[in-house]
Structure 1
Amino acid sequence: MLPPEPGNVYGDSAFTGGPAERLIISRGGRPRTMCTGIWGRGPDALARLEANNAAVRRVHCRIEKVFGTWKRSYGLRRMRWLGLAKAGLQVRLAAIAYNLRRTVTLLHAAAA
């Protein structure tokens, strides 16, 4: 689901190429994914690769931290053995639990 003017759209490397990337570009957005290979040789190509990945890494790290906590602390490792409806419910419950826990932490920090 994309807004009318998406701007930068961050995603996993699964969104590189294919219909998802074409949809983002057709709506005027710019797909931002981690790149692993470069076209061309030399320090200029490597510098472009590192600059792209540095910009994406800031967003990627914040998102992966949340998913890692869900997987480690809220049982999302078992999702492969659940049906689609149960997996969706488990993700929603994990998000609610994570947000409640984070709210308590932020409120305690603000009170101190």
Structure 2
Amino acid sequence: MVGRRGKPAVPVSKVHVGADADTSLVEPIAVTAADVADSKAGPAAGPDDPGEVFADCAHRGRQLGDAVRAEGGTPRIAAAALWGRDEAEPLARLDAWNRPIDRVRQRIETIFGTWTRSDGRRRMRWRGMGKATRQIHVPAIADDLTRALTLTAAV
């Protein structure tokens, strides 16, 4: 909840999106309150039949990793930092760990870029979780239809 002077508090929400790594089609979407940590909300946006699940470092924690392993998948979560005795060795390990993850994440982050740039979805326009969920599903469906037409035309 965000309050302003003399105005009622406004609920704030976040969107968690799962997408196919190859086609970038949006699969599950979870809308949560802004005070819910990404690591706790991550399993709600995970696929039903995961292979490798890629996520940014905000999803570090046991919840996403345990949920993916329980479904038979492999979590691939980016690391923000690694410890080591000197500076060069941990940075090299960090780069080696994050490089394959970043290649997939770039395709997924394109979805958010399209929504904010083209669809004007920087902020939720309606209050309440139900309305916010409906508001985010419409551009997701439109984006998936556009992307599916592009994919079928390429074949």
Corresponding residue number in structure 2 for 1:50: 95
Structure 1 residues not aligned, in runs of 5+? none
Picking from 89, 92, 98, the partner of 2:134 is: 89
Picking from 122, 127, 145, the partner of 1:77 is: 122
CA offset at residue 61 of structure 1?
A: 0.4
CA offset at residue 9 of structure 1?
A: 1.7
* Separation in 1, partners of 2:130, 2:57: 26
TM-score where L is the length of structure 2: 0.56
Q: How does 1:22-37 map to 2 (within 5 A)?
A: 22-25=66-69, 29-37=73-81
Decide whether aligned partners of structure 1 residues 25 and 104 sit closer, same or farther in structure 2, where only a CA change above 3 A counts. Answer: closer
Q: How does 1:49-68 map to 2 (within 5 A)?
A: 49-68=94-113
Aligned length: 109
Decide whether aligned partners of structure 1 residues 27 and 44 sit closer, same or farther in structure 2, where only a CA change above 3 A counts. Answer: farther
Point out the structure with the larger helix share.
1
Structure 2 residues not aligned, in runs of 5+? 1-45
Q: Which moved more, 1:68-77 or 1:38-47?
A: 38-47
CA offset at residue 60 of structure 1?
A: 0.6
1:90 partner letter: Q
Point out the structure with the larger strand share.
2
CA offset at residue 63 of structure 1?
A: 0.4
1:34/1:53 contact within 8 Å kept: yes
